[in-house]
Structure 1
């Protein structure tokens, strides 16, 4: 017994100073039998923390034998028996384990027995064990009650495919003393083909019961406060969702902060193997294959926003200082580390360490930061975390803020074993040093030497001195520092003269003043932004030279913030248009607004802030917002002349790629309009119109509002050929006519087109009725004997009409985008499924048995590669892709987008995927369809 006791005792290297002598003396007397070293540690701890003093008294019988062995063994003795607890006793058992782990880790921390990583690791082990046990036991209960479809008792071992991902500090094994735990709960939907919804309902129940089991405060305390808000789109999604849904979210709308969050993510409970597979699938989302230097600006902006929001600017004052978010605090070191990891971790997997200290070590080893800086920040990080722990140990509070009174600070000083003034001086020095080290990361660098210029280029550059923006000495001085970097980037363009001319047009259009150049000087990523546009994308470069005003959006402060989504965009545009009284000026205002956002999407895609799929979603969000905001403006203007719309008015439907919510930089809009006059024969305005001509002319007014070239250009090209009867049909269709046409006259290609139709604007009740009708039609027309021959014939004629333009073709031809979309729409139609996107339509085909899982995998691989190639190339040029004609920047952009090491490797991969997809489509559609009239190219488009 004595030998075991000396193990803990001899490892004590420090202890607090007792801030409150009387409680300290009481504990010293109670535990005098443990010897002076242990009794002294317990006494001094009790004199600083009422919470830990209460635990010592409550757990005295357990504490004595626990301290008679090494702390590692004591922790094992707490955690190991938990596996044998019955479900009825799990809640209390976990709470008792939490109390004892809290006391043990606190004493090991305060006594210097364990370093920081062991302390946070012990707390994380408990969190992992509690989460895993809760999930597996609760899933077992669902299986026992027959609530999880098709699951057997042995499936409880893997929680039926459910997994909890530990995020944040839990994911990194860095839980602080009174930490919440951040979890993302998912399930593997592939284990429940055809029964996904029922399984999801079961897993939602498990998640809610798990949260209550861990978080609820009972007579035994609580285990961990649990936070589920890091899941995808937490405001609208259930607490547990399928891995496919989560992956689709991150692929389409995942944001920069979510990339950073997944640096630390790891499976911690349930089906760990499924969790590992999910995280592997997210690697391209988190770790970009390029040097993402814009992350520096993102992190810097986030730091400033946090400080602004919490009022954390100004000199360091110890009282009330936020150790996590304040100047020189923990978050500064985390941002410093994670931002560098995001910049280079795509190319160097060795940098993908979940922990802050491990990340600093890896960055130092790879040469990204000096070793002495890494070591110093590591020391400061550990010291900051120890202060944070002591703040939380006082009353088991989830706080990071120093006490607001000098007496409170004195208590923390004593808890750290220091006299008040020594503690204050050391803490202030650390905070100020961290601030200096991390702030320097965001300071502008020195410009490199510029390249040698041709005579023509030199002539252009010399002409810059006459431009309004470069007439002041200060502007010239700043610009001279920036010019070498700009010229070097421009020199990498496919046509450097063209890129230089585009930049020349941009520069010449800037007004006098130094604000823009000062902004560039303070934010080097903005310099790279302008140069990259000119050096990489001739299309965007020409756009910028003609529309230099869009730069207002870049310098307005919101250019690199999170994407707001359709509703916010539509509200913003509506508010902007409401402030403009004149109809024509409203249309021009809409064009200026749309150009800024459209430019932003293109730039974010070009810079790798978003990928092709997120860009596609953002282009579609933007187009929908324009339609949603303009429709009432157009309707109001039309009604001013002809009176309000008869009946319920009309609804605008997005078709094709707009309906599916996936556009590229050059997409037009496929629209149709459906109206319901409800028997009203004409309008009641100054110049009344019959219902049919009213809606036809209203539709034409919408098309004109979108397409007319004005002073600010045009918004979109519009294609209305997907309306009933195509070009021959009326531009606006009555609801009853639409219903009867779809049921009795429409060709198969029109039913395929209906799979992607989506209501955008109009009367909400009418929108709902049209969507319900769409679903009814799809269910009624799921007749394989008719659909498959029609589609096979359609496919043959599409192949004849639109053959591939060359080896790099991504859109037209067998196994490419239009071919895969045609099959996906066929799968949705045969399944009677309302899904609109390719991924969900293929999944519907798998559920219905029309496609196999292998089909789905091969088709998605081809589709994703082709879409990335197509969307990327459309951003660079209107012409078909020709790698030989692209400059270094353009080639690098496309190769990064598709994650290929070279053009040769990309071409080989493209040919392989396309050939495999074509074979599988051949197998599903066959080649014996009968000839049908129709316009399949319009349905696929």
Structure 2
């Protein structure tokens, strides 16, 4: 890697001399191919041109040069058939034979640059690019490209002056069209397809390149084009040139050898040219080479009279494509071609099958190659999506890839070391604060997080920065500075290359050239320009080191020595006692056990080093809490749990500020410690304290989840895991806000209930799509929540009481919706590597566990009216529609109100409710001396049953009682209606609120039963007993003993 980063050839010398030796003529734009550095540090993603838009032909006024023979453009196209059809008669039959292949390969690539540029920033995969580009076009970069007229542009560009001198008519034609962006028309592409042989094709391509390059150069220098247009124009030129060259040479090769056929599929095979680097991302330089990789789907042989193995066919095709694009002729070159990013580099085969590529990436792929493939984009062929699916697991890990930080830091050091070299001080790409560092910042964070968050996968640098800012992974101010610097440096880079069509990134050494560059960049003099450039590079340098600077290498302190050798001695005991640890011998024994455990001993060396580095840090942060020993034990359990996942260890090592947050969280709640230990992927959430403490909006949740699921479209397993990660992350954020005192119990329950609604809705949609296929009409199916979900009183570990309903007259509806309910419930409850969404209880459906899993609305209605027990009507008081078809949900809500408002015999109702309460108490015996907040007399269930009785007894006359607004609000309604004394209702409501608070606190400390000291709850228990007596007319004497 180091050698590849440091290997760089000398710049091309005077190419005019080369051409003069070969042709006796001086021409413009001729540069030979050169060996150059290949760095995997510039990535682009999310670049997919959509339907092209035609523009005016770029061929108008186009001089055609072949040695010293010049053809006027009018003659070229009026007699084009004479030029391209010289061998038509001899090739007509062969052309017919390969027509099916060339038709597939030669895709029309036609669009004007304005439309093309807009489409670069379109589509779900490139969302956020426009925002990013707008962000970075303001400020100091506005000075670039806005201060030259045509004469000044010519004075600056030696290339343009030579071109004007050699071909004045051509130059005049170009300057006459400068008001419009440079485009490639359908007639231009058609002309390339009609080329009769490789010489004719090479000639046309070189003239096309001269036209686009000159027009773009002049538009940019005279302020008519911005960076986006320049990159789009050159990228589009490369796409047209590559796709048409591949199509033509495939056709000509197939005339002799036939078309390649896959041995397994029996289908035609085409060469997939993968654009890497800036070509892959649509950010090609003005005078750039193109990094390519040649791939084909499968092995086999051609079907002609002179068959070749597919490998040989595509090798020959690749060599011809390279020659057509790369060779320097009297007309110059099209693009310099670099093939060194292919598997095994220069030592590897020119082309690889899918199998060979996948095998290489799995067995040989290195960290820097993940950068290289991060920006890869298929330019030709029909299986680009299949190729992307093959590459994706290599580039983007399934989970957050903090383990990559070690490799990233190595690359950072190489970049920083190279950038500090004296000979790179004036290099705006490779030097300190240069373009490469900006690209590396964006790409590194994409590699770490892109596997989990597809929205972070845009290929382009500006889109990537915008996406990172949108997710809060880079501060907006940092992104603004980096974006400004990127546009500034890229504009400077282009002006360096406009000077003489040379691929250079070196600032000129002499004062005159540097002053000319400054004027081209819109600055009055060289000194002002240097100051502005230095400001931009300093900003990049600062952000680069801030993100990837080495972790602190502190000298070993006393805690580190203790952890390295946790002997129980006086020195260590005193150290731990002074730090607040209650039982040093026990703690030292725990450390000894961990260091001697098989799990620790079997850790890879890198993981063990990280583990060892974290132990003293955990001691320090635990000592800063109110209960150091208990917190350290929790931290140690977490550390042991995650030790097998080096990425999590790397996260904690690389982000020291996470440790105090982690210790604070674990000190506040044993349940939080257990939850985080079960789901260590949530450690990533601690990186951004701002996002953690921001109370979310429910609509934001829906949009975020939809985006995440769309990123895994077509992969049900990844979508199931994405649902779990989303639910866990949002639960964790609410937990942090809860422990920070930012949420009341009622507000927290609202959020948890809303989260469940959103997750259930998304899971239902995914289940239906898997069952019926994408595009199927939505199901006439609803999910009804009962219990805590229905009453919006959900806790962190609550299960979900669900009932499934449908309203569909189709004969197959019962079976269809039963399968849907089964698939849905499996998706919710099944344990995967990412955990479980929720536990569910489906026994509240008609006829309970013995009933059908899904009920029609009609069956549900008949059951509730004719067969339901009183306790089932009690449960209905806390039921609500939570997900599915809104019409079915609305029908349920209507039926619910009807059932609740049925007249009832009060004596029977009272007996039924009291009997059920006694049964519930018997099912939850409390043999301790503590008070069970939920089940004991005077507890939460007493209040709930009293409210339910009042609803069923009086809703026929008082519709307000059917509102599902929670027990506290309903007690207030009962008081307002005169059903219970206001004093009793208020006291019971306060008791219920306090019980919920205490229950929540006890559960946060990991208790399975919500039980507290009884004496402290006596006033509240008495208030609840008084409510019970007032509602039911007698004290509950059976079961628990009397209070007091």
TM-score, normalization: structure 1?
0.44
Question: Could you say which structure has the larger radius of gyration?
Answer: 2
* Between structures 1 and 2, the one with greater helix share: 1
